[in-house]
Amino acid sequence: MGATLARSGLSRRTALGTATLLIGANLPDIDILAYLDGPSADLGFRRGWTHGIPALVVLPVVLTISVVGFDRLVRRIGRATLPSSVVPSQVLLLAAIAILTHPILDTLNTYGVRWLMPFSGRWFYGDTLFIVDPWLWLILGAGFMLSGARRRMRRASDWTARPAAIALMAAVIYVVLMGLTGFVARGITARELQTATGGEIDALMVAPVPVTPLVRQVVAAQGDRYRVAEFRWFRRPHIDRGSLRSYARRPPKDAAVSAAVATPAARRFLSWARFPLIEVEPRPGGATLVHLIDLRYADRPGAGFGAITIPVAIHHGSTEDTEFGGGDNQGIRLP
């Protein structure tokens, strides 16, 4: 996104405009440094403080100060005599535009963004694009490459910027179409699930899958069950009954579960999980493995991203009430 914005002509507004757009479009992901404290720490911190509304005010200023400071440092070292062509006001404008594109695009997928951090941990989900949408990459990449080719051919500046500008407009159209079809698919899914299984739907995700926009992943919280299925546009009914699976939404009454969800790793995971599923696996010798799964990204223990396992030294079988939840299940008491 930053590269295509630069090639669309925005970078010509000031020296170091391209660098500002490239850095700004990626700057909110500085929270990836949370990985240094382990994957579960990452889940508890990502797409929060550096993606929220306060960050959108602070980060452009930080980036502008850094770019202008870098320019002055380099000019001082090089003993430059001509006036600098870096315009601080334009750097600030480009930084604000580039940084804003990041949480907007992040909101469009199923991972979501906590826009109100640090004041609220509520997640916002667009369910419009796959996390790494190949078609969006193709559209923006084509605009970037074609503008670069025109530049190498030394065409007029407005012509070199045109492919990138067209790509940005095409990307917006693609996002809008995906959003509209997702909205319609969500309504169809709710009606078909209620007809097939009965009961009101508490939370619903109808999310895009990689490559094909005609198939969507369905996860629904319905009563005491989770429903997972596949949505296909060119099929009647649209919900593939052969793909429909059901999971118990309530965790077992178990002291091991209570001990596991009290750990920092579990609290971070459950504050992020949108459709949290808990499974208990007794082990020889009295230990118990408590598997935490988010049905957005995993459907079984050990599936990698979207699932963690917490060992606890408590015998399986004793019962306690358990309260947990994040995402759409925030604040629900699960007995």
Q: Is the pLDDT of residue 187 over 50?
A: yes
Asked if 49 and 31 count as a contact pair (C-beta separation under 8 A), the reply is yes
Is pLDDT larger for residue 185 or for residue 265?
A: 185
Residues ≥6 apart with Cβ < 8 Å to 193? 201, 204, 218, 220, 222, 227, 229, 239
Report pLDDT digits (tens) over 194-250. 988 887 899 999 999 988 989 999 999 998 899 999 999 998 899 988 889 999 988
Per the CB < 8 A criterion, the answer to whether 139 and 70 are in contact is: no
| pLDDT range class, residue 136, cuts 50, 70, 90 | very high
User: Half-sphere exposure (CA, 13 Å, Cβ side) for 294?
Assistant: 25
Task: Provide mean pLDDT across the span 102-118.
Answer: 93
**Residue 329: predicted pLDDT:** 46
**How high is the pLDDT of residue 205?**
96
pLDDT of 83: 81
Helices 17-26 + 53-78 axis angle, to 10: 140
Cβ proximity of 134 and 209 under 8 Å: no
In order of 319, 329, 332, the CA distances from 255 in angstroms are 5, 21, 19
Domain ranges of the chain: 2-126, 251-334
Read off the pLDDT of each residue in 109-132 and give the average, rounded to a whole number: 92
Query: Is 90 exceeded by the pLDDT of residue 331?
Result: no
pLDDT of residue 142: 93
The pLDDT mean for the chain works out to 86
Q: What are the phi and psi torsion angles at 271 (to 5°)?
A: -70, -20
